[in-house]
Amino acid sequence: MLVHEILTPSSTLCGLEGGSKKRILEQVSHLISEQHTDMEDSCIFNGLHGREKLGSTGIGDGIAIPHCRLAECKDAIGFLIKLESPIDFDAIDKKPVDLIFALVVPEDATSEHLQTLASIAELFSKEEVRTALRQTECNQSLYDTICRLSS
């Protein structure tokens, strides 16, 4: 599944204040549960936070891809955030993170989960993609940019 297929304008947020990795995961969980009322934010947070305990999803170059599989999730959900200021995310390159793509997929969607993660990681590995996303200044621009670059 491609990035632009699991994002909507309302699941793209530019300029969020971060604070810490835990705070970001709490905020993302709340934002997702607001849009997907069949899932509780505490359940989403526990899934994302539990995955982080296994190892950071900070993949380097200022990018993090927190992700989890949940029984309550019916379809793949993506949420893209550009932080106002970079935060420590325990990334593999030790650099702070300012672009976050959260991914929540159904519990039994193992291959879809892995394919989508690979697609996201490949997209964000491109410097021109990271640069273009960092230059956006509003939610719609962030959404339009990621859709243009991921199609």
Encode pLDDT of 10-29 as tens digits: 999 999 988 899 999 999 99
For 42-55, what is each residue's pLDDT tens digit?
A: 999 999 999 999 99
Give the gyration radius of the chain's Cα atoms: 14
Handedness of CA 127, 16, 36, 140 (dihedral sign): negative
What pTM was estimated for this model as a whole? 0.94
Please give the tally of structural domains in the chain: 1
So which residues are the catalytic ones?
67
Token duo for residue 55: 């190892």
**Domain with 100 in it: what CATH number?**
3.40.930.10
For 55-64, what is each residue's pLDDT tens digit?
A: 999 999 999 9
Mapped to the 3 state alphabet, what secondary structure does 41-93 carry? HHHHHHHHHHHHHHCCCEEECCEECCEEEECCCCCCEEEEEEEEEEECCCCCC
Which residue range forms the structural domain that includes residue 30? 3-150
